[in-house]
Amino acid sequence: MRFHWLLLSILSTLLFALPAQAGRLLFWRYENNQNRLVFTTDSRVQPRAQLIPNPTRIVLDLPGITLGRSTVDQTIGGTIKSVRVGQFNSQTTRLVIELAPGYTVDPTQVKVRGISPTQWTVELPDPQRISNSTTSRPNPRPNPPTSNPLPQRPLNPSPSSSQENNNFQVTRNGLFVRLDKQGQNRDIQVEDRQEKDAKTVQFTLPGTSLPQSLINQTLAVNEYGVSDIKFEQPQPSQARLTLRVAKDSPGWQAYYSRLGGLVLLPQGGLSAVQDLTPPNPSSEVTVSPVKNQNPTISTIELTNNDSQLLIRANGPIKGEGSIDRRTGTFEIRIPQAQLADPIQGPQLGRNSPIYQLKVTQANTDTVVIQVRPSLGVRFGGLRQPNAETLSLEVRSLQTNRPPITDDPTTITVPPPATGPSRPITPPPGTVTPRGRVLVVIDPGHGGKDPGAVGLGGLREVDVILPISLEVSQLLKQQGVEVMMTRNADYFVSLQGRTAMANRARANIFVSIHANAVGGGRSNVNGMETFYTGNRELAEAIHRSILRNVTIANDRGVKSSRFYVLRTSNMPSALVEVGFVTGTIDNARLRDPVYRSQMARAIAQGILDYIRQKGL
């Protein structure tokens, strides 16, 4: 699967980060004793499998999944020569199981099973030797290698899938080990040992018992700079885990989870190991894709003064259109078609009628194009000017729309040099201009009230102000009026915050905070969104964050009677972007790139709500 994101030029760097859009291969391992490959992704995938001879290889392509690192070649031994994992193209990860020379398998006996939409196994029968009469027969005109498709399996589990061992998992939040019995965090011992090209990190766990299926097992990890993990139970009440990691990997730490297991994390958070390569990487896999004779879509462009979106192919195409009334997104499905690589798309400027354009190779012969309108724009019907072209009508509902300028109701007042801090308030009689949307962004705390203070002295005010300022900037760029309750580090009372929004007759109020928990519970991480009364705004923002940001834990959308929620006279939401006291969240909230991703997601959620309500 190939994804091509054609975003509004300014927002391509401000509103979305491309790597977040594709799924990732979280982990894989080959279980030699069961002739089985196991792998997990962080988003739904439908694998494509084929058998390629000379030498015999089972090739598994994962459309829409990226590896995010160098190719890996793991030597297996016996009848299986190796397992290779690499990036086949920009948005497809390829796994290759290569048999030893002289061996083959019956492709009808290879079982590709979906345990869930993100967990799969590839089960092989016992490889058989190729007979001498087949390998030695002279053939003056050898046939080229052919690809025999393996049977595709449904996403629902098969009867045997319930027996799958899930006691060790590589997740987007670190490594997780299920335990039969766990000890105390204070008793965990960690020891680093340096090797020539790698190092090992050994965890000794008094009072801990491993599941029987893990004892004396070494499992491949191939993520976060970790090549494998070894499980041992030297005593009934003592377990030992050994990670083999990259030589430049930071230290690792472990803590027991309330879910009944052990969490392993690098010091400094997962961002510290995202670019590390596990020991013993290999060269890139080079396997030619199967050619397809379907027409190729090569160009998408805006024409006729931005009133028409044209989709051009090098052969006859047909399309079916449908619209999502909630978001205004128009979806075009084009069967029997392929995407060019690269595809040429329109240059979408600041005042473009198209807010977002997503082009996807949904399966081997279907292209899906999703077009999302800017504010004040709707789409007409899908037409076909000729056999090779599709046309989507673009309608502006504000033909005399003025250019976007700075928000006249946004008040910028620096904190006073001396004397007590004071709230900022709009001039008397300030109201929302008719036909415009006014959003109040409320960065919590400030001045004499720094909010929560977390690990390493990270203060809540230092996290939420840059997020809030960027949310404001992004909304303004989309023609939304924004008022901030404060735009620097000074104190504003709770009463002053909602009084400001109520007096200005704002349409939307969003308060931004960072969370904290006491008792040294650094294992508590995650984001949550609160509301009072109507939850639609909170849900829109929360959905956008889940869609666009990798968070440690989804703590959900919750009802609350926070003062700023219950006293605001308009739809309101309070976003807790993470825990400054949490090991994972703290490391991420320190990162300006992560804070920017959070800001983009919050801004997108507000825009989603505006479109949903037709404001």
Regarding the domain with residue range 438-613, which homologous superfamily does it belong to in the CATH classification? Answer: Zn-dependent exopeptidases (3.40.630.40)
User: Which pLDDT does position 505 carry in this prediction?
Assistant: 92
pLDDT in tens, 546-581: 988 988 899 999 999 999 999 999 999 999 999 999
Q: Which range among 29-38, 61-70, 513-522 shows the weakest confidence by mean pLDDT?
A: 61-70
Q: Which residue has the tokens 């910028």?
A: 412
Domain ranges of the chain: 20-130+146-162, 168-272, 296-396, 438-613
pLDDT in tens, 418-452: 333 333 333 333 333 334 789 999 999 998 999 99
Question: Does the structure show a pLDDT above 60 at 39?
Answer: yes
Give catalytic status of residue 576 as yes or no.
yes
User: Which pLDDT does position 575 carry in this prediction?
Assistant: 97
Please determine, looking at this structure, whether the domain spanning 168-272 carries the CATH number 2.40.50. Answer: no
Q: Measuring CA to CA, which residue among 367, 365, 223, 224 is closest to residue 291?
A: 365
pLDDT in tens, 59-102: 888 888 888 777 788 888 888 988 989 887 777 888 999 988 88
pLDDT in tens, 177-189: 888 888 888 899 9
Helix, strand or coil, per DSSP, at residue 29: strand
Helix, strand or coil, per DSSP, at residue 541: helix
Q: Which residue type does 383 have?
A: R
Distance CA 214, CA 231 (A): 6
Q: What is the pTM of this model?
A: 0.38
Greatest mean pLDDT range, 243-257, 365-379, 419-433: 243-257
Q: Could you tell me which CATH class the domain 20-130+146-162 is placed in?
A: mainly beta
Distance CA 605, CA 531 (A): 14
Structure token pair of residue 265: 């994390």
Q: What is the DSSP string of 311-367?
A: EEESS----EEEE-TTT--EEEEEES-EEEEEEE-----TT-SEEEEEEEEEETTEE
How are beta strands 252-257 and 261-266 bridged, if at all?
antiparallel
Under CATH, what is the fold of the domain 296-396? Immunoglobulin-like (2.60.40)
Question: Does the structure show a pLDDT above 90 at 507?
Answer: yes
Distance CA 328, CA 367 (A): 20
Instruction: Examine domains 20-130+146-162 and 296-396 and report if their fold is the same.
Output: yes
User: Which pLDDT does position 471 carry in this prediction?
Assistant: 94
More confident residue, 60 or 417: 60
Distance CA 506, CA 487 (A): 17
Percent of the chain with pLDDT over 90: 29
Q: Which range among 18-32, 127-141, 201-215 shows the weakest confidence by mean pLDDT?
A: 127-141
Structure token pair of residue 83: 């397992």
pLDDT band at 271 (very low <50, low <70, confident <90, very high): confident
